[in-house]
Amino acid sequence: MGEEYEQPEEFDAERIKDFEQKMREGRVSYHDVETFESIVEYYIRQNKPYEALDTILIAEQQHPYSSILQMRKAQLFAATGKNIQALELINVIEAMEPDNYEVYLTKGSILSQMDRTGEAIVYYYKAIERAGDDADEVHLYIAFEYENLGRYDKAVEHLQKAVSLNPDNEAAMYEIAFCFDLTEQYQAGVEYYTKLTDDKPYSAAAWYNLGLFYSKQEKYETAIQAYDYAILINEEFSSAYFNKANALANLERYNEAIETYQETFKYEQPDPIAFQYIAECYENLNDTDRALKYFHKAIKADPALADAWCGMGAVLEGLGRNMEAIHHLQKAVAIDPDNSEYWYILGDTYAKAELLEEAEDAFGRVAELEPDNETIWGDYITLLYRNEKLEEAIENCLEGIKVQPNNATIYFKLAALLMDAGSEKQGMQVFEEALANDYEKHTEAFEIVPSLQNNQGIVRNA
């Protein structure tokens, strides 16, 4: 049978320092198993697995038959990537302690780490049979394995069992939300957390997740009510304030959103994302001074926050401060070079600053990253023409049509460019075909080549 012992006492840094000094001097005195385990636990909490393993090796000399220490040794082998040794050791312990649920839990964890998911699940089920009051935690481990297999339905099944066994298991509660969110089962999320709030009305986590799924359904007023209940239960629930602020912003209640974002600062360190969202609220309120101030705060707090660089650039561009805007937008694309939106805004700002070659490169990057974007081909083609690259503009019309064969804008621009290039008959044919498909967009031809408004053939057809 396994050893019975009380919860090991906490070890503070000073006692650990004394232990380490004696260990270096080779004069570690006798300690019982519980004391050694408390030292090991200290090192694990400090993320020092190798120091914990060294402690186990010393403890083994004094307690060579302790299954508790052997169990910790197996766990530490796994934590340091020694999975084969960990599995060999846990097999020995399993033979000695067939009724110890922690053996099966540890073995399942080792097998999981070795990507032997099916076997891991088998051992987790064995752990459940012996886990008693800790069964909810084992269901959580099983759920993680099913998530790794993409079996979110089975994962949710076990997570719900975990919550049913222990309604205070918030880790399982949040993981259910993760699975529903990932599979876009928003209504299932609403139904589950509505029932949970009925059964457990004082669970802040349940109300919070209910608010989350109402937000996913864009039912922001109802979401705010759920977040308010979560805050009423736990007034320091910063995530509930944050999500409530998001819902308020989506309802265009920007002043309330700003106040609510700022509430989070009372309970945790200011988040760069919160600064960014406050800036966006001020931007929507046309308070550009405060918008710039908070975008600056966001960038200072996290210089790698590309959205904040882009947001600040967009505000500066709106103020006509194009060169400053370009500096900030260049930072955004340097951080996230595959973000087509950043490149689009940068290209537009280059164009306004009369940096046409640079604008051309930026729009070309958008077309490369997001060829299905409905507006980029039209803007890119117009820019090429403006930059006196008629042939290249025509080529890009043809390329755009391959990608977006139903985009009337490209056809009208192609018609205008062909006529401007002297191919009046061919251009008129394209123009007539485009008219038949989408008459409303025929002015696109005049926008790229304004002189066509005087072309009698065009005017008669339009």
CATH number at residue 193: 1.25.40.10
Start-to-end C-alpha separation, the chain = 92
How many structural domains are present in the chain?
Answer: 3
Nearest to 188 by CA among 197, 179, 175: 179
Same-domain check for residues 259 and 277: no
Sign of the torsion formed by the C-alpha atoms of 171, 177, 183 and 185: positive
Q: What is the pLDDT of residue 453?
A: 61
| 416: Cβ contacts below 8 Å, ≥ 6 apart | 427, 431, 444, 445, 446, 448, 449, 452
Q: What is the dihedral of CA 186, 188, 194, 199, to 10 degrees?
A: -140
Q: What is the pLDDT of residue 171?
A: 94
- Please tell me which residue, 66 or 293, carries the higher pLDDT value: 293
Among candidate residues 197, 230, 263, the one where a domain is terminated = 263
CB atoms within 10 A of CB 178: 16
Same-domain check for residues 279 and 257: no
Token pair 């049509």 is found at: 401
CB atoms within 10 A of CB 378: 23
Whether 121 is in a domain gets the answer no
The answer, yes or no, to whether residue 461 has pLDDT greater than 70, is: no
The answer, yes or no, to whether residue 263 has pLDDT greater than 80, is: yes
At 10, the pLDDT band (50, 70, 90 cuts) reads low
Whether 216 is in a domain gets the answer yes
| Cβ pair 136, 123 in contact under 8 A | no
Give the C-alpha separation, 238 to 242, whole Å.
6
| Cβ pair 17, 39 in contact under 8 A | no
Sign of the torsion formed by the C-alpha atoms of 104, 109, 110 and 112: positive
| 456: Cβ contacts below 8 Å, ≥ 6 apart | none
Containing domain of residue 427, as a range?
396-462
- Please tell me which residue, 205 or 40, carries the higher pLDDT value: 205
Task: Render 227-248 in DSSP notation, one character per residue.
Answer: HHHHHHH-TT-HHHHHHHHHHH
Nearest to 108 by CA among 133, 68, 139: 139
Same-domain check for residues 255 and 275: no
Nearest to 2 by CA among 127, 108, 75, 101: 101
Whether 110 is in a domain gets the answer no
Q: pLDDT of 394-419, one tens digit each?
A: 998 899 999 888 888 888 888 888 88
Whether 82 is in a domain gets the answer no
- Please tell me which residue, 25 or 240, carries the higher pLDDT value: 240
Among candidate residues 370, 405, 422, the one where a domain is terminated = 370
Amino acid of residue 319? L
Number of DSSP helices (H) and strands (E) in the chain, helices first? 27, 0
Q: pLDDT of 193-246, one tens digit each?
A: 999 999 999 999 999 999 999 999 999 999 999 999 999 999 999 999 999 999
Same-domain check for residues 277 and 332: yes
Percentage above 90 pLDDT, the chain:
58
Whether 61 is in a domain gets the answer no
Q: What is the pLDDT of residue 27?
A: 67
Whether 206 is in a domain gets the answer yes
- Please tell me which residue, 101 or 199, carries the higher pLDDT value: 199
Q: pLDDT of 121-178, one tens digit each?
A: 999 999 998 888 889 999 999 999 999 999 999 999 999 999 999 999 999 999 999 9
Token pair 């802040």 is found at: 204
Name the percent of the chain in helix, strand, coil, to the closest 5: 75, 0, 25
Residue 419 belongs to domain with CATH number? 1.25.40
Residue 307 three-state SS: helix
Amino acid of residue 325? A
Across 95-104, 148-157, 370-379, 434-443, which has the greatest mean pLDDT?
148-157
Among candidate residues 225, 246, 263, the one where a domain is terminated = 263
Q: What is the dihedral of CA 345, 347, 353, 357, to 10 degrees?
A: 170
445: tokens are: 């031809």
The answer, yes or no, to whether residue 339 has pLDDT greater than 80, is: yes
Same-domain check for residues 342 and 298: yes
Average pLDDT over residues 283-310: 97
Q: What is the pLDDT of residue 5?
A: 37
Separation in Å, CA 173 to CA 121, 167, 289: 20, 8, 42
Task: Render 376-423 in DSSP notation, one character per residue.
Answer: HHHHHHHHHHHTT-HHHHHHHHHHHHHH-TT-HHHHHHHHHHHHHTT-
Same-domain check for residues 252 and 282: no
At 306, the pLDDT band (50, 70, 90 cuts) reads very high
- Please tell me which residue, 11 or 297, carries the higher pLDDT value: 297
Whether 462 is in a domain gets the answer yes
Give the C-alpha separation, 366 to 353, whole Å.
19
Same-domain check for residues 274 and 365: yes
The answer, yes or no, to whether residue 455 has pLDDT greater than 70, is: no
Give the C-alpha separation, 343 to 16, whole Å.
54
Same-domain check for residues 307 and 290: yes
The answer, yes or no, to whether residue 191 has pLDDT greater than 60, is: yes
Q: What is the pTM of this model?
A: 0.80
Rounded to the nearest 10 degrees, the angle between the axes of helix 135-148 and helix 152-165 is: 170
Whether 247 is in a domain gets the answer yes
- Please tell me which residue, 400 or 434, carries the higher pLDDT value: 400
Token pair 């640079």 is found at: 358
Same-domain check for residues 315 and 366: yes
Rounded to the nearest 10 degrees, the angle between the axes of helix 390-403 and helix 408-420 is: 150
Average pLDDT over residues 306-326: 97
